[in-house]
Amino acid sequence: MTDQAISPAHSTPGLDDVIAAETVLSHVDGAAGELIIRGHALDSLADWRFESVLALLWAGLAPEAMEAEAIRAALGPARAQAFALMQPLLPATDGLSQVEALRLLLSALADGAETPHHLLATAAVPVFAAAIARRRAGEAAVAPDPSLGQAADFLRMLHGVPAAPEQVQALDSYLVTVADHGLNASTFAARVIASTRAGMFSSVIGALCALKGPLHGGAPGPVLDMLDAIGTEDNIRPWLAAALARGERLMGFGHRIYRVRDPRADVLKGAVARLRDGAGRIRFAEAVEAEALAQLAEKKPLRPLQTNVEFFTALVLEAVGFPRASFTNVFAAGRMAGWTAHVMEQELAGRLIRPKSRYVGPVPEVAA
């Protein structure tokens, strides 16, 4: 008995348009190009600090109500706790990619930890990500400064010196922009795991594993690789045409939900433009973007392909000094806000997520 082909009429292979959870946290309107984070349009949050978005997302879900200032104060000691935990484990990350190293270090967070788990997970990522990036550059980890905000300390732990306010603002803007985004693959993974009562740390580690893929959070590094490979204005058109002719996907373009421009792209473009030296890099990126959109429209006339968040993510993170191999970890530092909130919301919702599959395999022969 042979397997039956899966019929698109009776299955939704990517769960497109399937509503799999109710949430108060964020809403993505793909047709209008709008992202709402708990009642706020994304562009109204562009100047917020990361801690303010944590307060917004965690409100009513975390066991204790905390304002942004209290969250900032609690994250500092939690970063120090994560740093102490990390020190003996750091050598074990040698030979791993940066995101694999983050996955390993997060696995050391124990379900028995006394610090509220959403706080500890959120505090730990910048500590681990900065130390991993430094270790790859042959430098020792820098201990956190608990008195600083999360973005300022992230950059300080990365560079070993305090960051300029404009750089801190750019990173805050980035962390806020990627904080939550509906039921994306990593958030869904987190909610599935949370629904089994496996706990916060297991849920967010599962989310990180989903984020790691190039179709989700692994794209911004390759965006810079693409810009570097193109190199000059003259090479933009032939390089893109050749890549598309080979059937390659252009990194930083296309989205499952957005059919118009991803609103996060413009917020991040604004963040780069405000940085010293940002304008030159943007000019070249914009020329690549314009040509890529024109060629994609010609190549895929039936599929509106627009710029996604990863395109300008690459420029922001490069401008504040993150090595490209660390970009997925920085994404995780921001998205941890949404993951932790969704995990807590799922735990309150209470029902095990257990969909069905449609069996299309062979059936046992019936005896004659």
Which residue among the candidates 255, 318, 342, 345 is catalytic per the annotation?
A: 255
Q: Number of C-alpha atoms within 13 angstroms, CB side, residue 216?
A: 19
CA 344 to chain centre: 18
Interface mask (CB under 6 A) for ligand ACO, residues 221-250, using x and -? ----------------------------xx
Asked if 124 is part of the footprint of ligand ACO (rule: CB under 6 A), the reply reads: no
Q: Which residue is nearest to ligand ACO (CB)?
A: 254
Tokens of 360: 């299309």
Q: Residue 84 or 215: which CB sits closer to ligand ACO?
A: 215
Q: Residue 103 or 216: which CB sits closer to ligand ACO?
A: 216
- Residue 25 CB partners (closer than 8 Å, separation 6+): 37, 38, 57, 180, 338, 341, 342, 345
- Smallest distance from ligand ACO to CB 16, Å: 8
Question: Looking at 23-31, 191-199, 200-208, 296-304, which segment touches ligand ACO (CB under 6 A)?
Answer: 296-304
Q: What is the DSSP letter of 25?
A: S
Q: Residue 195 — φ and ψ, nearest 5°? A: -65, -15
Nearest-angstrom CA–CA distance, 165 and 289? 29
Asked if 258 is part of the footprint of ligand ACO (rule: CB under 6 A), the reply reads: no
State the Cα torsion 338-339-345-348 to the nearest 10°: -160
Tokens of 368: 């004659």
Can you give the three-state secondary structure of 112-143, one letter per residue?
CCCCCHHHHHHHHHHHHHHHHHHHHCCCCCCC
Tokens of 77: 């000691």
Parallel, antiparallel, or unpaired for β 34-37 and 40-41? antiparallel
Active-site residue 40, yes or no? no
What is the CB neighbour count within 10 angstroms for residue 266?
Answer: 18
Asked if 310 is part of the footprint of ligand ACO (rule: CB under 6 A), the reply reads: yes
Which residue has tokens 């990517």? 14
Nearest-angstrom CA–CA distance, 292 and 307? 9
Nearest-angstrom CA–CA distance, 147 and 120? 16
Asked if 305 is part of the footprint of ligand ACO (rule: CB under 6 A), the reply reads: yes
Asked if 256 is part of the footprint of ligand ACO (rule: CB under 6 A), the reply reads: yes
Active-site residue 310, yes or no? yes
Asked if 330 is part of the footprint of ligand ACO (rule: CB under 6 A), the reply reads: no
Question: Looking at 98-106, 130-138, 297-305, 352-360, which segment touches ligand ACO (CB under 6 A)?
Answer: 297-305
Asked if 312 is part of the footprint of ligand ACO (rule: CB under 6 A), the reply reads: no
Which residue among the candidates 51, 289, 310, 318 is catalytic per the annotation?
A: 310
Asked if 300 is part of the footprint of ligand ACO (rule: CB under 6 A), the reply reads: yes
- Smallest distance from ligand ACO to CB 79, Å: 25
**41 beta partners:** 36
Count of residues engaged in binding ligand ACO, rule: CB under 6 A: 20
Q: Residue 38 or 256: which CB sits closer to ligand ACO?
A: 256
Asked if 309 is part of the footprint of ligand ACO (rule: CB under 6 A), the reply reads: yes
- Among 212, 255, 269, 342, indicate the residue that binds ligand ACO (CB under 6 A): 255
For ligand ACO, the binding residues in 202-221 under the rule CB under 6 A are 215-217, 219
- Smallest distance from ligand ACO to CB 245, Å: 11
Interacting residue ranges for ligand ACO, rule: CB under 6 A: 14, 215-217, 219, 249-256, 296, 300, 303, 305, 308-310
Q: Which residue numbers are catalytic?
A: 255, 310
